[in-house]
Structure 1
Amino acid sequence: MDELHRIDLNLLLTLHALLAEKHVTRAALRLNKSQPAVSHALAQLRTQFDDPLLVRQGGRMVLTARAQGLERPLEDALASLNGLLSASDFDPSLTHRRFRLSLSDYASRLVLPPLVRHVRGEAPGLDLAISQASREAILAQLSDGELDLALGVFPHAPEDLEVQDLFEEGFVSLADKAVLPAKGDLLLEDWLQRPHITLAMRPDANDEIETALAARGLRRRLAVTLPHWSAAVDLLEGTDLVLTVAGRAVGPMRRHRTLRKFTPPLDLPRFAYQQAWHVRRANDPAHRWLREAVLMCSQPGRSQNSPVRAT
């Protein structure tokens, strides 16, 4: 807090414009200030940060390493401050924002359709940019500010991230009926001997199933590893493969009449499917509205075609 007393907050707005424009005159136009006033502010900022911030190189101004390191924290700080000041009069129908989300095709199928309908109805100026990555990459991107929100399973999220449970999930196994016992399901020994399909963004990733197996000193053969939830079920028909996935990923079995769904012969704990964001986004009213919308649209029983209404 002592550092805040040493700097005029208006200087931070000038710094933000200078970092974005990399040019004193353009920053002055952006701020609706005179060029001498912005030049004077730049001199103060250079003293404050003990760094030139902008230097001339090859006929143009470029950011120093110190200035580059200030870009993201300053952007986040100003966004949070703006959120605090505008929280009382936030209107989703008037907002114009673009949020970057990470969703697997599992979440894209379950949550995204009702979420998009809700956003289009309540906040049509809010844009969603969807990407997909491994759990480790997602956590890094949230911390670095490259993502605004992520859906997934985050049992060991770092302290700078906030995590909210959306719903509880459990595992089911599937296989072609032709390679299953006529009565009953596979025993553990038979289940382990079968070739398996596993879902992972990286071939060497360890998920909750591998963790549970390792705790018992067991292993299974991973015959196919792929990141596409929606394609995995289609690989089973006419093969001896077994797929064990989150239950809501399977959906109705009407399209897969040759397959049978059964309980895995292994004690696999249920888990929470979650949304995660960086603490810097916590007080942003638009971000909070989006999180609440994701929570509402994630509730079990919400079909892809059911309407979503604000409560």
Structure 2
Amino acid sequence: MTSLTQRSSGLVQRRTEASRNERAAEGEEEERDRDGQEEDERAGDKEARLTLMEEVLLLGLKDREGYTSFWNDCISAGLRGCMLIELALRGRISLESGGMRRKSLLARKVLFKSDAPTGDVMLDEALKHIKETPTPETVQSWIELLSGETWNPLKLHFQLRNVRERLAKNLVEKGVLTTEKQNFLLFDMTTHPLTNNNIKQRLIKKVQEAVLDKWVKDPHRMDKRLLALIYLAHSSDVIENAFAPLLDDQYDLAMKRVRQLLDLDPEVESTKPNANEILWAVVSTFTK
């Protein structure tokens, strides 16, 4: 009787321990989905708390003038691509399965996963559109819809307006930029000159080091946020601003390595272990 009690007790203990381990594993998985596997933000570090779209805009802003180049017609779509990648890295959206016939990245639909608040108004707004759309859309379609580049009047409400101005105000709140008014002969324009040069210089250094001192040939060994930043900075036509301070030979090497990334096949890269399919779908949209 005593032996039976001991065996029963041991069985209950093992079951309890197994259940505890299972709950712990589930809790860790939920936490990864909630916060995103790629989130490496550090408390108190303002640079680490910048979103991808804020980093791309910051690279594109003229330091003293406080606005992006009037000739840059790429950054609008690039910023929407940043939103999709940011939402994917935070575990809020994913790409549908490729199926048995392995549909291409550009043919697969974006799926809603979680509506947990991101802490960023524009990201939450984009996520709300993705959640409420009656039929799922592709990554390319979402970039066009969020940019307002659609001929379908029934989908114009998906457009996110004044994105650059709202991002600039975010950077003002984070102490990176300030707000001024400038007169351009026929009109006044609100501008956002740089006020914290240290954060921008650290951002520029991070991009430079990624393709110079810390270069790795395999993109899957790179931090996904940094990899996305390089791709989106190029797609938004602002990566030159990060490389401008380099010496000629360093500049040539940096651009050569960026071209190596651009020459990769997103379809192939998306099938590799731990690849983020939304990231490569966005890359495919801009490099196809």
**Range of TM-score over shorter length:** under 0.3
Taking structure 2 as the reference length, what is the TM-score of the superposition?
A: 0.23
Taking structure 1 as the reference length, what is the TM-score of the superposition?
A: 0.22
The structure richer in helix per residue is 2
